[in-house]
Amino acid sequence: MIPNLFVIINLKQVVLFLIFMKKIAIIPIKQNSERVPGKNFRFIAGKPLYRYLLDNLKYCNFDDIYVDSDSDEIREYCSSNGYNFLQRKPELALNTANGNDLLNYHRQLIDSDLYFQLFVTSPLLTVETINKCIELLSTNNDKDSIMTVKSFFSWYWYDGKPINYDPCVLPRSQDAKPVVMETTGLYGIKKQSLDIRKARIGFDPIFHEVSDFESIDLDNETDFEYLNYYVQNNSSSSNC
């Protein structure tokens, strides 16, 4: 009976911890973009790109949702959907600004226990995956951050040198050490680590593997062509 009682007590502690730990999402959406003009507002299967993520966030386990943008259209969307709107600072709308710059600025404005940064250029990230990432970071005392990733099992080189195998000792492909790629869809970090690290990835992150379609990241015209094809041939993707 004692071990069962211990388990029950621990479960209650976890539940209480989750209830009182504040979890916020911050979504940066620029009005303009260089490589693909107006990419955040392009229509995919009848609705603008930014809505694929934003429409789903209302079903995620965040305490508050903040959208940082310099767009009047986004401001109106936030007003209609109960999201907090943050006016983008001009200097943070420059191409020289990055995700860490944004998150550190948002940390100054908003106090939370967990900070999640998500991007509308990963439109097929599911509610289930987002909520799983919230749960993993909330309940794991040994890890300070989380990010979505995709692993690739093959032979890779960088700057003329192999990075995950020895060409003189060819292992089987199934034994290859994978190269792990950030999907740049979701990042989460605990407040204490963000304050020290000043970055969206902490000292000891969780690498959360996502599916092929969730790893889609829109960076050029070819990516948009693929997304259009995928959405048109998968009717459920617009409700993921």
> Are 68 and 102 a contacting pair, CB within 8 Å?
yes
Give this prediction's pTM.
0.88
Query: Minimal CA–CA distance to 206: which of 149, 157, 151, 158?
Result: 149
- Per-residue pLDDT of 69-114, as tens digits, reads 999 999 999 999 999 999 999 999 888 899 999 999 999 999 999 9
Q: Quote the pLDDT of residue 37.
A: 86
Beta strands in 70-172 (DSSP E): 84-87, 114-118, 145-152, 157-158, 161-162
> Are 212 and 234 a contacting pair, CB within 8 Å?
no
Q: Quote the pLDDT of residue 25.
A: 98
Q: Quote the pLDDT of residue 1.
A: 47
Q: Does pLDDT of 229 surpass 50?
A: yes
Mean pLDDT value across residues 130-137: 98
Show the domains of the chain with their CATH numbers.
22-239 (3.90.550.10)
Query: Minimal CA–CA distance to 66: which of 24, 104, 107?
Result: 24
Strands 145-152 and 179-190: antiparallel
What are the residue ranges of helices labelled H in 87-190? 99-109, 127-139
- d(CA 190, CA 112) in angstroms, rounded, equals 9
- For 131, the token pair is 């909520």
- Per-residue pLDDT of 183-224, as tens digits, reads 999 999 999 999 999 999 999 999 999 999 999 999 889 999
pLDDT category at 182 given cuts 50, 70, 90 is very high
Q: Does pLDDT of 166 surpass 80?
A: yes
Mean pLDDT value across residues 40-48: 93
The residue among 34 and 112 whose pLDDT is bigger is: 112
Q: Quote the pLDDT of residue 94.
A: 87
Beta strands in 70-203 (DSSP E): 84-87, 114-118, 145-152, 157-158, 161-162, 179-190
- For 122, the token pair is 């990963």
